[in-house]
Structure formats: C-alpha cells, structure tokens
Amino acid sequence: MEGVLGQILDLIRKGGIVMYPLIILSIISWVYIIERIINLRVGIFLPKNLSEIKILLQKGDVEGAQKVLSINSDVFSRALRLVLEEYLKGNRRKSELTLLMERELSGIIPAVEKNLMILSAIASIAPLLGLFGTITGLIKVFSAYASVQTEEALRLLASGIGEALTAAATGLIVAIPALFAYWIFRNLGNDIIEKVENEARGILELLE
C-alpha cells in the first residue's frame, strides 16, 4: 500500500503543479458519474405500478387510477393526477390535457440532465490543464540549454520532459472518462425523456 501511495505521490511530483487541479477535477468527475449511475434510471421517472394504472384507465376507472397514483411521489404520477383531476371535472379536451401534462412533466428534463454540463466542462478543461503542464514542462526543457553546467542541463531536460508527458497524459486520463460518461448519460437521458413522453401520450389516448 505504501509503495502504491509512493508511486502516486512521485507521479504527482513529476507532473508539476497542474496535477493538483487535475486530481480535483477527476474526483469531482467520478462523484458525478456515480451519482448519475444511481439516479439516471427509467424506474425513477416512471411509476412502478404504471401497468396497473393503464389497466384501470382502459376499464374507465379514472377514480381508481387516481387512488393508485396517490401512493406514488414521482413527477410523472403527480402530473397524471392533475390531468385526471381535470378530466373528472369535465375537461375532456385533449389539447388542454396534453398541455397540462407537458407543463407538469417539464420538471423531468432538469432532473435527467443534472450534472451533465459539469462533466462536459471537466472533459474540456482537463486537456487544457494538461496542455498547460506540457508547456511548463517544455519551458524547463529549453531552460536546460541555457544552463551553464552540463549535469544540471541534463537534469532539467529530464525533469521538463517528464513533467510535459505526465501532465498531458493525466489531462487525457481525466477528460476521457468524463467525456465518455457525458455522452452515455446524455443518450440515456434522451431515451428516458422519450419513454416518458410516449407513456404520457399513451395514457392521454386512453382517456379519449
């Protein structure tokens, strides 16, 4: 364990000062990736008893469907309860019910896209920090040629090349998972939104 920790500390030292913000960005990135893995699932945005609700609506038992919805706390169930309340009040216009459903379901989009912009920002910033580390490393390389002592020049040359390569590689190591996760979660989020919209349209058709 101490050997691994020593290697990590040595790598950080070789990469220069940019390694510290890169490590922070990496930690933030993985925190949000784990959060999205936990919270970006269809089951969170659609009620588990949706099939039962559809069966009741197919039978024309709108009040029964409302009772089933009352035990749910998700956004879709709340939106559907409001739609069914309007329906029971005598508002049978599909355009108005659709508008009400869309307005209530609009809150799902921010929940689906939560933290994605942060992952996108990390994927953009990390390579730039790596590039900055590369430039500072190259500055050390060129300063080596200005050194009077040959041994010192070689030391600075090795140190500068090591810093440049380490910083560049670390920037990519941080950016690639963040970018990959961003596109995976974005596509998954689009699928969830499409699924919710399809279910909402299907239920509104059952009320006709």
| Structural domain includes residue 146 | no
| Structural domain includes residue 56 | yes
| Structural domain includes residue 150 | no
Residue 19 pLDDT: 85
Q: How many domains does the chain have?
A: 1
Question: Of 80, 44, 86, nearest to 65 (Cα)?
Answer: 80
Residue 94 belongs to what domain range?
Answer: 43-110+202-206
Residue type, 173: I
One digit per residue, the tens of pLDDT, for the chain of length 208 reads 555 555 566 666 766 788 889 999 999 999 999 999 998 888 888 888 888 888 888 888 888 888 888 888 888 888 888 888 888 887 777 788 888 888 888 888 888 998 999 999 999 999 999 888 888 877 777 766 666 556 666 666 666 777 778 888 889 999 999 999 999 999 999 999 999 989 888 888 887 6
Residue 24 pLDDT: 93
Question: Is the distance from CB of 12 to CB of 19 less than 8 angstroms?
Answer: yes
| Structural domain includes residue 126 | no
Helical segments of 16-74, H only: 19-39, 42-45, 50-58, 62-69
| Structural domain includes residue 65 | yes
| Structural domain includes residue 93 | yes
| Structural domain includes residue 105 | yes
| Structural domain includes residue 55 | yes
Residue 70 pLDDT: 83
Q: State the DSSP string of 95-153.
A: HHHHHHHHHHHTTHHHHHSTTHHHHHHHHHHHHHHHHHHHHHHHHHHHHHHT-SSHHHH
Residue 15 pLDDT: 65
Q: Exposed/middle/buried for 193, CB within 10 Å: 0-12, 13-18, 19+?
A: middle
